[in-house]
Structure 1
Amino acid sequence: MLKKALAFCFIFILLFQTVPANAAEKVKRNWQDETIYFLMVDRYNNGDSTNDRNVKVLDPVGFQGGDFKGIIDKLDFIKDQGFTTVMLTPIFKNDDRGYDGYRITDFYKTDDHFGTINEFKKLVSEVHKKKMKIIIDFPTNQVSASSSLVKDPKKKNWFSGKTNDQLISFDHTNSEVNQYLIDAAKWWVTKTDIDGYLLSNANQSPTQFWKQFSSSVKSVKKDFYLLGEVNSKDSKLVKQYQQAGLDGTLDFRLNQPLRDSFATINQSLKKVLSIEADNRKEFDQPSLMGAFFDNHNMKRYTRDMVINKQFPGTRWKLALTYLYTQPEIPIVYYGTEIAEDSGGVPENRKMMNFRTEKELIDYITMIGEIRQQQPALTKGSMEILYEKNGMVVFKRKYKDHVNIIGINNTDKTQVIKLSKDQLQNDKEELRGLISGGVVRAENGTFKLAFERETSEIYNVVEKTGINFMFIAILVLIWIVFFAFLFIAWKRGKQKKIQ
């Protein structure tokens, strides 16, 4: 009897608690809703020692053992931080110097240091089982000098010359070259069911090639994502490549202003906010662009903080709060979660260290969860409410979902007053999602206080009061529970008397 009573109460509470979640509208996850974790295959995690051919862990430009199995083993680590997409450096067969994946010898094979194609297919499958997506870098501009394509006398007219790294550049004026690359790109989609391509140095290939590439690859898989690396601050040039079929491009124009704004204290965000505003005017789908602080080709952003004699943990928290709440897709380079400090290539490609403090990991996990739960942060409009010398407050709005983001990158406590009209007239409460707490309007004004070097993401909600229905249900549950206890006790007493 007692067990039944406990089971009844427990089930009743669970059912009650699940009603609000089930009643909420389920918003479809599109590409602008993704949060991307970018890693270098060879430098992430060694999960299979049997493929450690010529591994030289002390050589910064040698293979160090990372592989597909290693990534599979760490998928929960990635997912638990709130990342929804894994993006990999090239996985194709490389020459013996191609630890980074960019010295390709065969577009139809995986590099044996990373694993077999079946092991890669398992990686894709495991990613999809966890409701995540996977993107791989597909370089289209050059191959290793030892590639069979280069050695084939029938393909002499496929190439336009050598680079400084002894790589051979493709000649994209040759239609056979273009068709070969397009066929290979389609083959990988069909064979492995990947979800997108990062296209390195996309601006080194003509826009006409990308029009053909885009239409062909997307005919194989619906909603396939093409993210182009157009390393240019010329927005007109970037727009040409987006209009040629690239869904989004890495936002290099935003990158340095972002780094400058959070590397030290009391830095204005005016330039960052101006670029964001320009993007919304200039591009058809600015929310599909990729915002980032660093990657495998530049020094770690932590180094900027160290140079400025700042504590990386605090700096990264402010920087990531902005990255996760601005309109573009956040791209986080592996090692950010441990505030990896290093210079440029190859120092910025160290093997991932999983034995480290968890404070920053926990913070990324928290804001990653917030970003997934708040549709205004991924789909919403953006309006600047206040900006001065490092203190910024802005609003993201999607339908009836509203978030207010405040970032205090100054050396003083800041108090910002906002009117109800600046938020949303029928909502009277701001609920903090990072530190907690509630801010209510007083005489039509919200007073927000931010301690130095802190941030907050507020959810704008209806004014809360005493939930009499919930209290009544809890009281009823306890009455039923104690009634069962009393009946059980009474029956037990009667049995003893008998």
Structure 2
Amino acid sequence: MKSFRNYVITLMTVLLASFSVLASDATTTNSANNKSKAPVINQVEPAFWWAGMKTPSVMLMVHGVDLASTEVTIDAKDIKINEVKSLDNANYVFIDLDISKAKAGTYPITFTRGKKKTVINYELKERNKETKAQGLDQSDVMYLIMPDRFVNGNPDNDSSDKLVQKADRSDRGGRHGGDIAGVTSKLDYINDLGATTVWLTPFLENNQPGWSYHGYAITDFYQADARHGDNAEYKNMVSEAHKRDMKVVMDLVFNHIGNGHLWMKDLPSQDWIHQWKEFTKTNYKGETISDPNASEYDRKIMQEGWFDGHMPDLNQDNPYLAKYLMQASLWWIEYAGIDGIRMDTYPYNKKEMMSEWVSYVLNEYPDFYIVGETWLPGATWESYWKTGGKNRDGFNTTLKSISDFPVWDALNKTWRDHWSITEVYKTLTEDFLYDDAGQNKIFMDNHDVDRAFGSFKKDLPNMKLATTFLLTTRGIPQIFYGTEILMAKGGDHGDLREDFPGGWAGDERDAFTKEGRTDDENEYFDYIRTILQWRKNSEAITGKLKHWVPFNEVYAYQRYTDNSSVFVVINNNLDEQTFDTARFEEALKGKTSGKDILTGKTISFDGKMTIPAKTAYIIELK
């Protein structure tokens, strides 16, 4: 049944793409009939912009009826039109405005056909004074939320008359009702836990008939999905986070859209998406992009094949599409005041365009954080996408942060598959491939992989050891909502992205409270909270990493700056271990004791140290 559904979705997608060709041809054929009518304008994107931006121009995508046959003019001294361009489809025009000298205000743009005119008043706003775009560093910890599955803050928006899929909490692939209001209501909880940053999976409109809850099939780049709330609610959430000294990372997708997007009913041009004679899915082999021996066939399938049957693949070789996408990201930064962007499926995009996009954003907001989802099998391939890499093909991305899947893999080999803790050590020995591994985003689990506690066979001591490593090694840690209460599902995405207990009225328990959690959940919650809260005031955690070769399943490392030092010891052995400390003298520097932040106890190491089985120490060296 599932394969038949996918077949139907694919067939519908191909038909929609074909229909767009016919619609475009029909528009051109009937253009003569429109000459006696005032130009019809249906949509302008972006709907408004800002004066005083460093970027001197803005491109408007205007959609209507046979707009290519109109003359476009603007009556203003401080704005001029650089270009008016129509592509294959006469229903669209792209207007490039020079706003380098413009001030905030409203500017009339006139569309004239014969004696008929239509005027739109385009607004340039004052810059958003609340926009911080402050970026992230190693002192931060991201809390990843799938808003549909977190908290239902406003039951009135669970379904929308304008959107196809309705709420059905019993359907693992359905809409469950979580929303932006729910996230806002739990900012104090997240802050108290100790996370410094909120990352929501895409909240933009996904007007799809099924599996629309995850947000990765965008059908409107400028509007929040009504079942999550509206743009103002998102902007308010960012403001509320900033009031708590927290940051916000937005999730975006440039590689593909949902087939419910307007573009799939009326393509701006035939090369707006990658079109095939028959449905062709990507091979998901990102390593082909950096592979000097890869066939052009494999590279083409990787970057131009569709991510799924209902996700048309965007063609960023089209400069107007590329500009549209880049502007959309800048719009959200300025409008909502976000601090970072996580870019989905990063290597699937045209790499040159993505490098240009990162530079475009950083030109406007130099401290802004951008992390690419680079799901690749090792540091060799990951480093290709990170700035500073010495790539022999001459390509140098401007991306500073990648999703460190090698660290995730090492964590799973060690505590899921019971390999030696040396796997974690070995992974970090490859940091010479990165210019600054401290900018890498590291994680135990996320919305695409099995939850860590389930992967670790619900072994609480192992979960604690993995958590200690994640939150004290180099990089910017990310934890998945529910990790702190030992949510453990895996397998089907709809299952592992389960609802947070207590996020809905009538839930059997409220795991946001101590009383609503089990003893094991509270034990782990207190453990991770202790580390997270300590991190907020630790200078050492922002510094360098120095580690020692593991022995007898004991792994030791130091995080340090010129003024602060912390010594971490992880005993992954089933037995207590006692060892000489002379080999660590370059970290200990004559000190014979320190405070373990996990227990508050003083740990002595006058020549020797003893650590219990399956235990970690985080020792502050004063």
TM-score (norm 1): 0.81
Deviation at 1:356, TM superposition (A): 2.2
Preserved CA contact (<8 Å) 1:32 1:378: yes
Preserved CA contact (<8 Å) 1:269 1:389: no
Say which of 124, 149, 173 aligns to 1:43.
Answer: 149
Preserved CA contact (<8 Å) 2:425 2:550: no
Residue of structure 1 equivalent to 2:265 = 151
Residue of structure 1 equivalent to 2:478 = 331
2:556 paired with 1:393:
yes
Say which is worse superposed, 175-184 or 152-161, in terms of deviation: 152-161
Residues 166/264 of structure 1: CA separation in 2 closer, same or farther (3 Å cut): closer
- Summarize the alignment of residues 282-361 of structure 1 with structure 2, pairs less than 5 Å apart: 282-306=433-457, 311-344=458-491, 345-353=493-501, 354=511, 355-357=516-518, 358-361=522-525
Deviation at 1:441, TM superposition (A): 5.3
Q: Which amino acid is 1:333 matched to?
A: F
Residue of structure 2 equivalent to 1:435 = 599
Instruction: Give secondary structure in 2 for the equivalent of 1:240.
Output: helix
Say which of 401, 410, 413 aligns to 2:573.
Answer: 410
Preserved CA contact (<8 Å) 2:410 2:427: no
Q: Distance in 1 between matches of 2:467 and 2:157?
A: 36
Q: Which runs of 5+ in 1 are unaligned?
A: 1-27, 462-498
Residue of structure 2 equivalent to 1:78 = 190
Q: Distance in 2 between matches of 1:302 and 1:424?
A: 33
When the two chains are superposed, the root-mean-square deviation of aligned CA atoms in Å is: 1.9
Residue of structure 1 equivalent to 2:587 = 423
Deviation at 1:334, TM superposition (A): 1.0
Identity fraction in percent: 27
Q: Distance in 2 between matches of 1:327 and 1:223?
A: 20
Give the total of aligned pairs: 424
Q: Distance in 1 between matches of 2:150 and 2:365?
A: 28
**Residue-by-residue CA offset, 1:271-324 (whole Å, 9 max, x unaligned):** 221221211x11111101011111111122222222xxxx43322211100101
Deviation at 1:128, TM superposition (A): 0.5
Q: Which amino acid is 1:171 matched to?
A: N
Deviation at 1:259, TM superposition (A): 1.1
Q: Distance in 2 between matches of 1:433 and 1:173?
A: 52
Q: Distance in 1 between matches of 2:605 and 2:527?
A: 29
Q: Which runs of 5+ in 2 are unaligned?
A: 1-133, 160-165, 280-305, 388-396, 502-510
2:285 paired with 1:133:
no
Instruction: Give secondary structure in 1 for the equivalent of 2:456.
Output: helix
Q: Distance in 1 between matches of 2:383 and 2:462?
A: 32
Residue of structure 2 equivalent to 1:278 = 430
Q: Which amino acid is 2:527 matched to?
A: Y
Q: Which amino acid is 1:338 matched to?
A: I
Residue of structure 1 equivalent to 2:215 = 101
Say which is worse superposed, 212-221 or 222-231, in terms of deviation: 212-221
**Residue-by-residue CA offset, 1:407-444 (whole Å, 9 max, x unaligned):** 112111111221273334354432221123224454xx
Q: Distance in 2 between matches of 1:260 and 1:114?
A: 37
Instruction: Give secondary structure in 1 for the equivalent of 2:324.
Output: helix
Preserved CA contact (<8 Å) 1:327 1:382: no
Instruction: Give secondary structure in 2 for the equivalent of 1:169.
Output: coil
**Residue-by-residue CA offset, 1:60-93 (whole Å, 9 max, x unaligned):** 0110011011001111111111101111101111
2:322 paired with 1:175:
no
Say which of 539, 542, 556 aligns to 1:378.
Answer: 542
Say which is worse superposed, 142-151 or 414-423, in terms of deviation: 414-423
Give the helix-richer structure, 1 or 2: 1
Q: Distance in 1 between matches of 2:268 and 2:341?
A: 29
Preserved CA contact (<8 Å) 2:135 2:369: no
Residue of structure 1 equivalent to 2:226 = 112
Say which of 386, 389, 407 aligns to 1:242.
Answer: 386
Q: Distance in 2 between matches of 1:188 and 1:180?
A: 13
Preserved CA contact (<8 Å) 1:47 1:73: yes
Residue of structure 2 equivalent to 1:67 = 179
Q: Which amino acid is 2:437 matched to?
A: P
Residue of structure 2 equivalent to 1:58 = 170
Q: Distance in 2 between matches of 1:300 and 1:132?
A: 25
Residue of structure 2 equivalent to 1:87 = 199
Residue of structure 2 equivalent to 1:201 = 345
2:334 paired with 1:190:
yes
Instruction: Give secondary structure in 2 for the equivalent of 1:219.
Output: helix
Preserved CA contact (<8 Å) 1:189 1:220: no
Residues 454/159 of structure 1: CA separation in 2 closer, same or farther (3 Å cut): same
Q: Distance in 2 between matches of 1:255 and 1:391?
A: 19
Q: Distance in 1 between matches of 2:498 and 2:136?
A: 32
Q: Which amino acid is 1:80 matched to?
A: D
Preserved CA contact (<8 Å) 1:190 1:220: no
Instruction: Give secondary structure in 2 for the equivalent of 1:143.
Output: coil
Deviation at 1:395, TM superposition (A): 1.7
Deviation at 1:30, TM superposition (A): 5.2
Q: Which amino acid is 1:269 matched to?
A: I
Instruction: Give secondary structure in 2 for the equivalent of 1:245.
Output: coil
Preserved CA contact (<8 Å) 1:248 1:288: yes
**Residue-by-residue CA offset, 1:377-416 (whole Å, 9 max, x unaligned):** 23223222x5124321222221131111111121111112
Say which is worse superposed, 255-264 or 409-418, in terms of deviation: 255-264
Say which is worse superposed, 150-159 or 252-261, in terms of deviation: 150-159
Q: Distance in 2 between matches of 1:426 and 1:254?
A: 32
- Summarize the alignment of residues 427-466 of structure 1 with structure 2, pairs less than 5 Å apart: 427-440=591-604, 442=606, 445=607, 447-461=608-622
**Residue-by-residue CA offset, 1:125-167 (whole Å, 9 max, x unaligned):** 0111110110011011111112012222433221003633321
Q: Which amino acid is 1:379 matched to?
A: G
Say which is worse superposed, 64-73 or 397-406, in terms of deviation: 397-406
Residues 146/434 of structure 1: CA separation in 2 closer, same or farther (3 Å cut): same
Residues 73/269 of structure 1: CA separation in 2 closer, same or farther (3 Å cut): same
**Residue-by-residue CA offset, 1:102-144 (whole Å, 9 max, x unaligned):** 1111001000010010001110001111101100110111111
Preserved CA contact (<8 Å) 1:312 1:339: no
Q: Which amino acid is 2:137 matched to?
A: W
Q: Distance in 2 between matches of 1:416 and 1:426?
A: 16
